[in-house]
Chains A and B, each alone.
Chain A
């Protein structure tokens, strides 16, 4: 297991080195291609004047709130749809159609309706997170073993006990798979929302950097966003490792497939 970690660092350093060399030799001005060292310098500056932290926290709050809202709605609706064929028949065409709406196209609308503050970004995050979590929740609930349901019923379990002792633990692996996708998507949602109109956040910082030819700042914001998405992904992986330790581990877990 030492090899992958080692190789990640190796590939990363090699990439940075190539970038530094290309930036140096090509003679491109920094506002087109800043070198890694210039980006680093700009990051230190943005950190010291407090702007990087401030904008990051705004985006992170939007992402987390949007994630919570989207996941909450997806769980509630997913439970209804999984339990009721009628509900599913009536609602699923609209839910699927809603996925055909490009989020980039309705983001400006949401900003018009809900203002340029955090609320519109939270809604966009929630929208983008909603679908994958919903689908996985339904798939998970539908695949709760019939025999275990009979066991619970033979023990005269209540509806709430059925949820707590059987449906939640049994659905958890599939649900967390959906959350893993949702967590990274929600970062995209926040940035899309901020592009559509905002005065704070990392998306806003990118707009500012682009407008003032401060390309290094754009890079700083982009890398922060990548770091944020990776961290969220990592949190879900950590949750999976903790909550799903009862499952057989594969010999070679990978990041993309997790420990399925």
Chain B
């Protein structure tokens, strides 16, 4: 009993020590007419299991490129990308991807959109539908399951997209400015909601955002990329207690960190 508990504990600490993702000396150059466009330069960082990482940076700094690399949609020009020590191209890991626009299939109902990842994994359709329903409940849209995407507001569509990204229980949740197209109020509500979902599911999350306060409110760590070519400018741990309350936004520590982030984004 005692040893079992001990083993359990040491496994947990081991989990926290072995990173789920290691990014080492990453360089990405896109081909173009004058010698190639350098998008990312010498990026190195690690992500640990169940960590919530936010990525900030001016536009064109390669944030989307970074996410597409991690999703396996793009291969780096140079450098290493490891999933539990294995190169991404060989590792078997699943991702959930949330795009800036909800990116739903207009011919599928809300429920069918959410069940898509499970159908692609060839789960029996009844199981897929049942799990998709659970996810819709989690994002509070169960009564819209047979609606079509064209009938949803921006915030609702983005919630469907989040449900779709989580339904197959992915190893990695990647989000590219998921709330970028929403108004400020909806955006804050969605942030709080995302936190609630993350609290329930404890995914490893990497999320690109433009909002400093959103990053600080959500993340365990914030990475800042510099102006093009994107270099890692700052890797800032954020250690507010969880579950987080709205009022941390007004604490002095929050303000101090926001200042540091703003300086890092503006560049040296």
Contact = CB atoms under 8 A, between A and B. Distances in A.
Given A246-B107, A248-B150, A150 B116 contact: no
A8 to B, nearest CB: 31
Interface in A116-131: none
A254 B267 CA distance: 58
Nearest to A161: B120
Interface string A140-162: 00000101101111111100010
B18 interface: no
B96 to A, nearest CB: 8
Interface residues of B, number: 22
B73 interface: yes
B106 interface: yes
B105 A150 contact: no
Contacts of A248: 150
Interface residues of A, number: 21
A169 B149 CA distance: 15
Contacts of B150: 246, 248
A166 interface: yes
A157 B97 CA distance: 14
B146 to A, nearest CB: 12
Nearest to B119: A165
Given A165-B120, A246-B148, A154 B103 contact: no
Contacts of B105: 148, 165-166, 169-170
Contacts of B72: 153-154
B175 to A, nearest CB: 12
Contact of B95 (A152, A154, A161, A165): A154
Contacts of A148: 103, 105
B30 to A, nearest CB: 16
A169 B18 CA distance: 43
B153 to A, nearest CB: 16
B249 interface: no
A151 B103 contact: yes
Contacts of B174: 154
A147 B120 contact: no
A148 B107 CA distance: 12
Given A154-B72, A246-B106, A147 B148 contact: no
B116 A155 contact: yes
Contacts of A154: 71-73, 95, 97, 174
Contacts of A246: 106-108, 148, 150
A246 B68 CA distance: 30
Given A147-B101, A150-B97, A246-B148, A155 B107 contact: no
Contacts of A166: 105
A244 B106 CA distance: 10
Contact of A147 (B95, B103, B117): B103
B93 to A, nearest CB: 10
B52 interface: no
Contacts of A152: 120
Nearest to A147: B103
B77 interface: no
B217 interface: no
A100 B105 CA distance: 39
A151 B99 contact: yes
Nearest to B99: A147
B94 interface: yes
Interface string A171-189: 0100000000000000000
Given A151-B97, A154-B97, A165-B120, 14 more contacts: A147-B99, A147-B101, A150-B73, A152-B120, A154-B72, A154-B174, A155-B94, A155-B97, A155-B116, A155-B117, A165-B105, A170-B105, A246-B148, A248-B150
Interface of A: 145, 147-148, 150-157, 161, 165-166, 169-170, 172, 244, 246-248
Interface of B: 68, 71-73, 94-95, 97, 99, 101, 103, 105-108, 116-117, 119-120, 148, 150, 168, 174
The 6 closest A-B pairs by CB, nearest first: A154-B97, A246-B107, A169-B107, A154-B71, A147-B103, A155-B117
16 contacts: A147-B101, A148-B105, A150-B68, A150-B73, A150-B99, A151-B97, A152-B120, A154-B71, A154-B72, A154-B95, A155-B168, A161-B120, A244-B107, A246-B106, A246-B108, A247-B106
